[in-house]
Structures are given as structure tokens and as C-alpha cells.
A and B are shown apart, each in its own frame.
Chain A
């Protein structure tokens, strides 16, 4: 069963609109880590944020913000005032803290964001 679900396959917005990407995860661990990565057309995954399961504070970094809700197992990502350079595929990922999950980032299917001028 997929542990990370990104239900939105593609989102298209016009520049300066806000866009919210949904991520729902599933784990039985009490300690886990959630990540967001950006994959531009060049292919490299760029790290955006890491959040551990004990820190439910929302975070803002420039135009990016994240909303972590343990009660609904969601870790949503919002881009405010989108720009063309935000066009990319965005991945949500989960890592469980068990030692036998060493290195195992479990990715969602990704959401393609298309920002048009």
C-alpha cells in the first residue's frame, strides 16, 4: 500500500496565484519525518523542507509555507504568488525512524505544477 498519497496529478495556475499541494501519509510509527522535494525539468530533486513528527508548527520560508496536521495525516504545501520558475514536479516523502528503514524515503507520485505568465 502506498504510504504517501499526492492526489493531485497536475495543477495549472496563472502567475501570482497561490497554489496548494496536498500530501497525505500513512505510518504506524510515532517518530517519522516528512519531506518536500522539487524536481525541475533538469531532473535533480531539490530539498525544500524536512519536518519531524513531533513538530507540528507550521513553517513559512519566503513564498513557501507548509501546514502539518497530524490529526489528518497531512502535510500540505502552499506556494504564494506563484512564479513561472515554480513550474516543476513536487514530491512529498516519508521516512520512518526505524533502524531497518535506513535510508528509505517513500515518495508520493508527485504533483506537476504549471505556472503560466
Chain B
């Protein structure tokens, strides 16, 4: 098993569909993240979960809804998306140290889900 696994790898959905992206980490980490990578833009942090609690939501539209049922799984539920939401969605995990933040540990990334909204 690779460290961080994302499914599906590719997804095409209509604007009225509802779909979910799944991320699973096998590294025993306690923090998980969703990033969005659009063409010609830097990677953008969307959501942060620490110990299953959401600690950051970077002004992400409500059509993106994260869920973290346990420290190994992270979902991104999608509904009524727009064509501009087409991007590569990357999941990452890290071992964060309480009190010091995760800055001292590297994040491990999955291969991403290439999402196309039509």
C-alpha cells in the first residue's frame, strides 16, 4: 500500500451531480489536508483536519464539503460544482506535533484526483 491513496484518479461530472473524493493514509498520521491545484495557479490549501477536527477552511465555497470520519480517511463531497472547479485535487497527511504545529514535519501527498466539471 502506498502512503496516501486517492480515489478516483479521474472524475468527470456534470454541474448538477453529487460525487465524493476519497483519501486514505496508511502512515499513522494525525493531520490530513485537501489542496486544489488549478492550471497556472499555485497549490491552494482548502481544508485542514487535525485529530479528525477541522481546523481550517480557507474560504472554500460550500459546494465543497469535507468529512473526516477517522484519522486515516478524508472525503471531499462535491455538489453543484462549476466548470472553474475543474482542477487536480490533492490530499496530504502529516504527523503534527501538538503545540508546535505541523511546520516541522513534511506532508505526504497522494496522486490526486483530476476533476473535470462539464
Binding site for B on A (CB under 8 A): 2, 4, 31-33, 35, 37, 42-47, 50, 52, 91, 95-99, 101-110
Contact = CB atoms under 8 A, between A and B. Distances in A.
B59 interface: no
A47 B27 CA distance: 15
A46 to B, nearest CB: 8
Interface string B23-55: 000000001010000001111010010100001
Interface residue range, chain B: 20 to 34
Interface of B: 31, 33, 40-43, 45, 48, 50, 55-56, 88, 90, 92, 94, 96, 99-112, 114
B114 A43 contact: yes
Given A43-B88, A45-B109, A33 B114 contact: no
Contacts of B112: 43-44
Contacts of B96: 102-103
B48 A91 contact: no
Contacts of B102: 95, 102-103
The 8 closest A-B pairs by CB, nearest first: A103-B48, A45-B109, A95-B103, A107-B43, A44-B111, A43-B112, A33-B103, A97-B103
A103 B42 contact: no
Nearest to B43: A107
A97 B42 contact: no
A103 B108 contact: no
